[in-house]
Amino acid sequence: MTFKRNIIALTIGAVMLAGCSNTITTTDPINNQLTSTDKKTIASIKKTVSQQQITQESAKANQLFELVFEENLMASPMAQTYMGIKKDYGKWDQLTEQQDQLDHATTKANLLRLKAINPQLLDQQTLLSYTLFKKKLTDDIAGFKWRYHNYPVNQMHGFHAGAVSFLINAHRITDITDAHAYISRLNGMKTLMLQLTDSLKIREDKGVMAPYFVYDHVISDSINIISGAPFDKKADSPLLSDFKTKIAKLDITSPEKSELISQAEVALLTNVRSGYSTLISYLREQQSRASHDDGAWKFPQGDEFYQVALQKTTTTDLTAEQIHQLGLDEVTRIHGEMRQIMSQVNFKGDLSEFFDFMRDDPRFYYPSNEEGKQQYLAQATKIINTMKGRLDELFIVKPKADLVVKQVEAFREKSAGKAFYNRPAPDGSRPGYYYANLYDMKDMPKYQMEALAFHEGIPGHHMQIAIAMELENVPKFRKYGHYTAYSEGWGLYSEFLPKEIGFYQDPYSDFGRLAMELWRACRLVVDTGLHDKRWTREQAISYLSKNTPNPIGDVTKAIERYIVMPSQATAYKIGMLKILELRQLAKDKLGAKFSIKEFHDVILKNGPVPLNILQQQVEKYIAKTL
């Protein structure tokens, strides 16, 4: 109890000192009567009190951050599942205008709650959290205006495919209760698809519709979901196959398994089929009214929207014109480095002919059969495992979560991107996944395997995201936050980094690294071309095809991706350039004191942040190290 009484007394003293501090001066008669020992004691108390206030206010702020995160989590059944929580395990999120309005009101209320925190009394880590938390809330409030400026279904993402991927990859079945929750979600898919259809109607009324080409992809993916047993006499549909696989592992009787499968089949034949049939019917109808205009400029206030999107994606104030020119300059530079590799391998011809050679020579591709796909997955795993053994040369902290290379599922591989990453479960029940799309092996050349594995896996997204999730004494909203320029900038930087410790020994593989960096430089050109300069889909395809070695299928998929995700593709190169700029700044300032491990620790130890805050963190590291 003595310690508690001392704390209470100290707190009372803090109030008294705070109340009279402005009146204590060198001419104060009472102060003049104090001995030097008394003055030292008061100074010490002030210092202690100040630290106590900081501790208390920081604790108050962090409590609010965690409370808001938990409230948001409990409002989203799907987010709960991703986090390994089974509270609302049989439910879906709501895709309604009413839910949007509720979320918006909640965000504004949370910003008001933040005003109870005094940022001048926060420790450095909590002040960073406060800054990021406030920015996230204000950005979300400002972004509410643009909530309809997107395509809720497209070939890259959307609940038509995302709901199925969610059940397959996130909904675990460890007992009968989990199985019934899966069936409940199957039954809920009718409502989910009806809400999705309504969201398409709302956007069309406001003048926002996907370009014509998008519909063929989305309709095809949706048909795939309701094809196969129990919908027809073919092999099991994706959802039935997944459910059966998971049920087979349960320690229950055969009759119980049969009953569960029977209930799932009924749900598929009724609510799943009905929901998707309604969606497919409306998509076909809407496609008849769709145009071939591809850029965001066609939206209401499209030019303003795109500039806002660029600012949000890059966390900079760069204009579309500046980004376009930066892309052109980087394309020129990388072409020059590629010509050096042409000379190294004694290729006779110009760069365009070298591109044709790299694109067409069969030595650079695995066979387009199951054996070839397994060879690709095995080699990608080997590359990642080799890199794991070298991490101590570059990093202080390594992720605890494992990483698994996985093939994109058949139901969505035709339209999905060439590679992507899914984060691990926080409780360790699910590893991180590096997905490789092996639908067309001509889109996955061997010479890009290293760079692709480094970007999506280690030291790229898995390293950055898993470490962020595993940070201690950091609010959850930061652990699971996302700034595209930071995350994708790190991913692209991670393609380059292994070269500095001896990877890419094969010149063709080094060419593949440059080809992927070139790809991201071209993105700056074509994204701004499409959405600001009003390029057509065909113009963008032509530019990307002429300036990169990628096959036409790869190029077409990419341009179609950039069309439906305005600005997203600009994040990679801008983020990478900022990280390289900051690294050079640290090297120049610190000289022999520079440590690549410490630099990477600074980049990763605070989780995802905007690029301007990343610069502040590096500058603090430099000042502290000098």
What is the tens place of the pLDDT at every residue in 1-34?
A: 332 333 222 222 322 222 333 332 333 333 444 4
Paired tokens of 21: 């501090």
Listed in sequence order, the residues at least 6 apart from 192 whose beta carbon sits closer than 8 Å to its beta carbon are 92, 95, 159, 163, 275
In degrees rounded to 5, what are phi and psi of residue 25? -130, 175
Q: Name residue 433's beta-bridge partners.
A: 404, 422
The reply to whether omega before 475 is within 30° of 0 (cis) is no
Domain coordinates of the chain in residue numbers?
Answer: 2-143, 159-292, 304-578
Q: Of 341, 350, 323, which is closest to residue 514 (Cα–Cα)?
A: 341
Task: State the helix-helix crossing angle for 2-20 and 36-74, rounded to 10 degrees.
Answer: 100
Q: Which residues of the chain have pLDDT under 70?
A: 1-49
| Residues 241-294 pLDDT 10s | 999 999 999 999 999 999 999 999 999 999 999 999 999 999 999 999 999 999
Paired tokens of 129: 């959290």
Q: Of 106, 187, 136, which is closest to residue 312 (Cα–Cα)?
A: 136
Residue 196 pLDDT:
98
DSSP assignment of 458-485 equals: TTTHHHHHHHHHT-SSS-HHHHT---HH
Q: Name residue 422's beta-bridge partners.
A: 433
Tokens 């020579």 correspond to what residue? 361
C-alpha to C-alpha distance for 488 and 549, rounded to whole angstroms: 22
Residue 20 pLDDT:
31
Q: Read off the DSSP letter of residue 403.
A: E
Q: Read off the DSSP letter of residue 366.
A: -
Vertex 467 angle, CA 466 and 470, to 5°: 90
C-alpha to C-alpha distance for 202 and 95, rounded to whole angstroms: 12
Question: What is the pTM (predicted TM-score) of this model?
Answer: 0.85
Residue 25 amino acid letter: T
Classify the C-alpha dihedral 169-171-176-180 as positive or negative.
Answer: negative
